[in-house]
Amino acid sequence: MLTIREVTELTGIAAPTLRYYEKEGLLPHVRRNENGKRLYDEDDLSWIHFVTALRATGMPISQIQKYVYLYKEGDSTISERKMMMLQHKKEIEKSIRELYFNLDKINYKLALYDVIESQIERTNIKI
Amino acid sequence: MLTIREVTELTGIAAPTLRYYEKEGLLPHVRRNENGKRLYDEDDLSWIHFVTALRATGMPISQIQKYVYLYKEGDSTISERKMMMLQHKKEIEKSIRELYFNLDKINYKLALYDVIESQIERTNIKI
DNA sequence: TCTTGACTTAAAGTGAACTTTATAATCTAT
DNA sequence: ATAGATTATAAAGTTCACTTTAAGTCAAGA
């Protein structure tokens, strides 16, 4: 069992953020010791990594809340949870497509700069 | 020359956002008619599309401000602007890599759901 | 024993990027 | 000529996801 400090060192997530996630219901079943201090086990670490992956791919806190709520409901919500993940997968793929699309525009801009620089070279103008 | 309404229809960007971008210095040289109403030309539309691409790829307003400031400075800032774009290109590529990395985790989760569902099928349990 | 440091909570604060509101001026159609 | 829509500005408000602060509890080391 790990203290909150050990988890922050392991994950790079700030302690207040871990408490915030827990308060918002993103981390089910984090235990406490006899004095109320948090103790994290392997399952908690898995949840933290999973929540981090969802956040890093743009899933809002509110939707992760819903997912964890369904998880707590038990096996009857498995298909709904799977559908949430399928939907989120689509969103991520869409984000990637949009990034590539806009990356093209940046590359076009960079190509223009290359043209300008080669013109400067040819005409021997100094900037 | 287009009115702000025509630009919102053309770009899907809300009029207050266009005014906000202009106020923040993201859109150089937007003209006005004799009564102070904005009139956008082709160059303005290009800037709007460019700013939109930068925003959609996560560049902060403050950095776009800096880029436009350099643009207004003239040709002597070309290499600095090109470096900004090269750096931003790297950031976008990093974002794409991270999205793929986390997409893998979501796909792993989905594979687990598939395993669970096939188990349910085999054991004939109804959920 | 004292004090230092790590933990706890609730509540307030922050920063980024808009968005809304309030008020006034101007354009458009009848 | 006038009603209703559109535009302008400045300033306040909103949302999201944390982050910081304030005030307190507790265990361990000098």
Output phi, psi for B124, to 5 deg. 65, 25
Q: Do the chains contact at A102 and B53, CB–CB below 8 Å? A: yes
Q: Domain boundaries in chain B?
A: 1-73, 78-127
pLDDT of B125 above 80: no
DSSP structure class, residue B32: E
Instruction: Name residue A75's amino acid.
Output: D
Which nucleotides on strand C sit less than 7 A from a protein beta carbon? 6-10, 16-21, 25-27
A4-73 belongs to CATH 3.10.250.10: no
Give me the pLDDT at residue A15, please: 98
Give me the pLDDT at residue B120, please: 87
B78-123 vs A42-56: helix crossing angle, rounded to 10: 130
Q: Can you give the distance from the CA of residue B4 to the C1' of nucleotide C21 in angstroms?
A: 20
The model's pLDDT over B104-120, given as tens digits with 9 standing for 90+, comes to 999 999 999 999 989 98
β-pairing, A31-32 with A38-39?
A: antiparallel
Mean pLDDT across chain B:
96
Q: Which residue has the higher pLDDT, A127 or B21?
A: B21
The DSSP code sequence of B33-68 is -TTS-EEB-HHHHHHHHHHHHHHHTT--HHHHHHHH
Instruction: Return the percentage of chain B with pLDDT > 70, whole number.
Output: 98
B56 contact residues in A (CB cutoff 8 A): 98, 102
Q: Do the chains contact at B99 and A103, CB–CB below 8 Å? A: no
For strand C, is any atom closer than 7 Å to the CB of A82?
no
Give me the pLDDT at residue B127, please: 60
The alpha-helical segments, DSSP class H, found in A1-127 are: 4-11, 15-23, 42-56, 61-73, 78-123
Identify which of A86, A92, A44 has the alpha carbon closest to the alpha carbon of residue A68: A44
Q: Give the closest of A78, A110, A113 to B113, CB-based.
A: A78
pLDDT band at B123 (very low <50, low <70, confident <90, very high): confident
Give me the pLDDT at residue A127, please: 60
Give me the pLDDT at residue B23, please: 98
Which residues in chain A show pLDDT less than 50? none
Cα distance between residue A88 and residue A57, in whole Å:
9
Average pLDDT over residues B88-104: 98
A102 contact residues in B (CB cutoff 8 A): 53, 56-57, 92
Determine contact: B78 vs chain A, CB below 8 A.
Answer: yes
Give me the pLDDT at residue A7, please: 98
CATH number attached to the domain at B1-73: 1.10.1660.10
Which nucleotides on strand D sit less than 7 A from a protein beta carbon? 6-10, 16-21, 25-27
Q: Which residue has the higher pLDDT, B119 or B26?
A: B26
pLDDT of B77 above 90: yes
pLDDT of B98 above 70: yes
